[in-house]
Structure 1
Amino acid sequence: MKSKSTFFIILMSFFTFIMQAQEIANPYGLTTQVKTKYGTLEGTFDTRTKIASFKGVPFALPPVG
């Protein structure tokens, strides 16, 4: 019986840690998705500044000249 309660406490601690880590990573933003003809992009929307950002999006070669 003791091992079940210990397992439950460890499991709940793990889930609490995961939820807090997600809040620290994105404290003012919401996750957002945009569908394009090339696929789905996932980014964040900052509720303070009202700006959506999508990082790591591949694009064409940079302009030269």
Structure 2
Amino acid sequence: AENEEYEKSINILKQSLINFNKIEFPREKEIKLRLIHTLTKCLHLANQYEEAIKYSEIGIKLAINMN
């Protein structure tokens, strides 16, 4: 049951990222970074490690380019 909740969260977060990318404002990178961070945590807790690493790398690149 707990894993089902992670899967629901993962789907919602992925859809949120898709929608955010459609309306992204340059000054709102922090929101995108928070979405990626939360998605990475959910993927890790759902034992989806390879995908968690993929999103971690995306988040790191975004964080480096924020300044």
| Bigger RCO (CA 8 Å, 6+ sep) | 2
TM-score bin, normalised by smaller chain: 0.3 to 0.5
- Which protein has the larger Cα radius of gyration, Structure 1 or Structure 2? 1
TM-score normalised by structure 1 residue count: 0.36
TM-score normalised by structure 2 residue count: 0.35
